[in-house]
Amino acid sequence: MYALTVENLSVAYDKKIVLENANVTVPTGRLVAIIGPNGAGKSTFLKAILNQLPNKVGKIEILGKLFDPKSLVVGYVPQRNAVDWDFPTNALDIVLMGRYGHTGLFKRPSKQDKQLAMEALESVGMQEFAERSIGQLSGGQQQRVFLARALAQNATIYFLDEPFAGVDAATEKTIIDILKSLKAQGKSIFVVHHDLQTVKEYFDYTILLNKTILASGVTEDVFTPQQLQKTYGGKLFMMQETLGANNIC
């Protein structure tokens, strides 16, 4: 079974084609990087997978089935600036939201739900901040809370949108360690990633995306100068140093 199957996916906004004929199959248990230049359609790709876009064309299967949100199989960690952190609540409460799918409509979260939420907070190193108002959290702390929420949900496959953007080194380490441990548990993780320097170090599988999927596969095979040239086009000259430092040839 594949973690993700995408067939002929196309998405258009306001008569502009954002994604055209994207195809990819990814086996389970991988830690996958989705990379591409700004405006390539990476976030759109994620949203399409998560069935948030009604006007898409093509077929998407997650773990062999069409996406069913109620199955709670997919854990989504959005970009930090996707929400307003001025909301009146604390960190534990946000993580508890990951349990709402399990708790059900009209019911209060159970003791067990709260326990699992607390454990998720602990795993990201935020247990002291449980009662802290989310408006007072730093960028890295916010990101960790979002990850904890997805962990509390107990998903099988995770999609993260630029989780390392603007976070401190300690947070980055915490997050990638968790992702790796999830992978060790057999879960599949997809990360829209912006930092080419860390791709080889973190991810064993890579998808190159720019308006369509240009290449996908094991990182070593796919993360090459030629493929990067195709994906990033004229922006490559800025990447030279990066490639040199990584010594891929």
The burial class, CB within 10 Å (0-12 / 13-18 / 19+), for 20 is: middle
C-alpha to C-alpha distance for 154 and 70, rounded to whole angstroms = 13
C-alpha to C-alpha distance for 162 and 170, rounded to whole angstroms = 16
- The pattern of x and - marking residues 103 through 122 that bind another protein according to CB under 8 A reads x-xx-xx-------------
Give yes or no for residue 154 binding another protein (CB under 8 A).
Answer: no
The single residue among 70, 111, 169, 237 that binds another protein, judged by CB under 8 A, is 70
Could you say which residues in the range 43-62 bind another protein, by CB under 8 A? 47, 50-52, 54-55
Q: Specify the stretch interacting with another protein by CB under 8 A; choose among 95-103, 116-124, 200-208, 225-233.
A: 95-103
Residue in the block written with tokens 């004929």: 21
Q: Which residue, 102 or 200, has its beta carbon nearer to another protein?
A: 102
Question: Closest approach of Cβ 222 to another protein, in Å?
Answer: 28
The single residue among 4, 33, 48, 78 that binds another protein, judged by CB under 8 A, is 78
Give yes or no for residue 101 binding another protein (CB under 8 A).
Answer: yes
Instruction: Count the helix, strand and coil residues of the chain and give each as a percent rounded to the nearest 5.
Output: 45, 25, 30
C-alpha to C-alpha distance for 78 and 167, rounded to whole angstroms = 14
The single residue among 69, 112, 181, 220 that binds another protein, judged by CB under 8 A, is 69
Give yes or no for residue 206 binding another protein (CB under 8 A).
Answer: no
Q: What are the helix and strand counts (H, E) for the chain?
A: 10, 9
Give yes or no for residue 88 binding another protein (CB under 8 A).
Answer: yes
C-alpha to C-alpha distance for 167 and 161, rounded to whole angstroms = 13
Question: Closest approach of Cβ 167 to another protein, in Å?
Answer: 19
Contacts of 152 (CB under 8 A, 6+ apart): 95, 96, 98, 99, 116, 117, 119, 120
Give yes or no for residue 40 binding another protein (CB under 8 A).
Answer: no
Question: Closest approach of Cβ 83 to another protein, in Å?
Answer: 5
Question: Closest approach of Cβ 84 to another protein, in Å?
Answer: 8
Question: Closest approach of Cβ 52 to another protein, in Å?
Answer: 6
The structure tokens listed for 142 are: 């916010």
The single residue among 90, 156, 171, 212 that binds another protein, judged by CB under 8 A, is 90
Do residues 6 and 25 lie in contact, with contact meaning Cβ atoms separated by under 8 Å?
yes
Fill in the amino acid letter for 39: G
**φ/ψ (deg, to 5) at 6:** -120, 125
Which residues lie across from 9 on neighbouring strands? Answer: 22
Residues near another protein (CB under 8 A) are 47, 50-52, 54-55, 68-72, 74, 76, 78, 82-84, 87-90, 93-94, 97-98, 100-101, 103, 105-106, 108-109, 133, 135, 149, 153
